[in-house]
């Protein structure tokens, strides 16, 4: 791998390792963590560093405190969950820089982990301030980053701090970068991408990058309506769909570039329309030339489309997925997403397909389909995953190149 990892750090015995994690976990109004996935995924790196004799000091952002401290956004709320996940005592420090931190590090016991307060209690964090980064790493000998999900931000703890000490990726970031590289940069072909979303305008960079990299591209969700219109499906209109009329020419240009790059674009062959935008609403499956002009809304794709996508999947070796096929939050309009996801999971289990997925809605959709643990790799990084798929360099990853 072209990036520095824990293996490149040498002897860590007795050294203070500052570990940049992403502990920005969901929490209810009573400050109880509702999903510990991000905590759990940091555990292997923390335990490995401890096993090498390092003193592990964990830093992270949490919420959007906008440069001022408040209990709502304090990382103190996750201490119990961290202790449960690690099986070690977690000592919390109510600051992330200064004498309190230095004193706590000096008093650390071998079986303890230090958790510092929210980095974003300082405006300097988001500004990428170098002096703040110097204060941050002052008591540390080594810097390790396991926060791929924040790697698209050039924040002080992600970039400036990594330049001030011997630095490397933690195991989670290493795993993430390797999986995404295998999924998009160095895939086993044929490579298919599934891209969903409500608007073409929000995923232009992604689509423009993918049509030059993938062999087959499934365009789904509301953005497919614009491509359907652009490809001559006149029954799609602003009353029954999310078509963006001002993006028709853009969609045509993307399809032209796809053709030039031998990328096959797969659009809906039939659709499920509903009387209302709600669960269990009256609905029916119609052919593309029979989409009602008004009074019905496009909510999902039909069985013909599902069969076509699954047939194309059978021909592929790698799948990268970002975005659902329909309005998966409302049953039964999760049908297409569920069936394609389950087919991809079956192919993965059979060793025929390498599957990588990411993005908030995507993770929720695959969870809803019951396959979130059956893909080769699920990325919990929203913006960073998307920017990686768009072909952009991530500052927090680039800084860790060998």
Where in the sequence numbering do the catalytic residues fall?
38, 199, 360, 383
Name the nearest CA neighbour of 395 among 122, 176, 148, 142: 148
- 375 vs 280: CA distance, rounded Å: 29
Q: Residue 99 CB: number of other CB atoms within 10 A? A: 9
Task: Name the pairing type of β-strands 297-301 and 270-274.
Answer: antiparallel
Query: H or E segment at 126?
Result: helix 123-127
Contact 348, 375 (CB under 8 A): yes
- 267 vs 251: CA distance, rounded Å: 12
- 346 vs 340: CA distance, rounded Å: 10
Find residue 356's DSSP bridge partners. Answer: 320, 377
* Close Cβ partners of 350 (under 8 Å, ≥ 6 residues apart): none
The string of DSSP letters for 330-383 reads STTTTHHHHHHHHHHHHHHHTTS-EEEEESHHHHHHHHHTT-TTTSSEEE--SH
Eight-state DSSP code of residue 103:
H
Radius of gyration of the chain measured on its C-alpha atoms? 23
- 38 vs 316: CA distance, rounded Å: 31
Burial classification of residue 182, based on how many CB atoms lie within 10 Å of its CB (0-12 exposed, 13-18 middle, 19 or more buried): middle
Cα–Cα separations (whole angstroms), residue 20 to 126, 147, 373: 14, 6, 25
């Amino acid at each position: 791998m072209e990036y520095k990892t824990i293996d490149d750090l040498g002897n860590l015995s007795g050294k203070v390792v500052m570990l940049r994690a992403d502990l920005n976990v969901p929490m209810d109004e009573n400050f109880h963590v509702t999903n510990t996935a991000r905590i759990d995924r940091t555990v292997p790196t923390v335990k490995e560093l401890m096993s090498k004799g390092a003193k592990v000091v964990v830093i992270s952002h949490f919420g959007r405190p906008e440069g001022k401290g408040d209990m709502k956004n304090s990382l103190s709320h996750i201490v119990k969950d961290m202790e449960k996940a690690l099986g070690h005592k977690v000592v919390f420090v109510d600051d992330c820089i200064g004498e309190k931190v230095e004193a706590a590090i000096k008093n650390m016991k071998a079986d303890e982990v230090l958790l510092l307060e929210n980095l974003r209690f300082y405006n300097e964090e988001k500004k990428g301030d170098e002096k703040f980064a110097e204060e941050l790493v002052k008591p540390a000998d080594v810097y390790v980053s396991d926060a791929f999900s924040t790697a698209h931000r050039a924040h002080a703890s992600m970039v400036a701090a990594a330049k001030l000490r011997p630095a490397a990726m933690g195991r989670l970031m290493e795993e993430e970068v390797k999986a995404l590289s295998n999924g998009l940069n160095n895939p086993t072909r044929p490579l298919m991408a599934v891209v969903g979303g409500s608007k073409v305008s929000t995923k232009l960079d992604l689509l423009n990058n993918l049509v030059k990299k993938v062999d087959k591209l499934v365009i789904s969700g509301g953005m497919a309506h614009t491509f359907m219109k652009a490809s001559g499906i006149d029954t799609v209109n602003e009353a029954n769909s999310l078509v963006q009329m001002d993006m028709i020419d853009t969609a045509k240009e993307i399809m032209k570039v796809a053709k030039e790059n031998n990328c096959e674009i797969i659009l809906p062959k039939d659709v499920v329309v509903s009387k209302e935008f709600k669960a269990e609403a009256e609905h029916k499956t119609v052919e593309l030339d029979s989409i009602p002009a008004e009074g019905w809304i496009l909510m999902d794709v039909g069985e013909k489309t599902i069969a076509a996508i699954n047939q194309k999947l059978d021909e592929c070796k790698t799948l990268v997925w970002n975005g659902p096929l329909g309005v998966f939050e409302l049953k039964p309009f999760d049908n297409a997403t569920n069936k394609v996801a389950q087919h991809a999971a079956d192919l993965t289990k059979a060793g025929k397909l390498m599957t990588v997925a990411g993005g908030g809605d995507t993770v929720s959709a695959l969870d809803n389909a019951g396959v979130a643990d059956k893909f080769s790799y699920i990325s919990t990084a929203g913006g960073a995953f998307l920017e990686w798929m768009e072909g952009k360099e991530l500052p927090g990853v680039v800084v860790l190149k060998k």
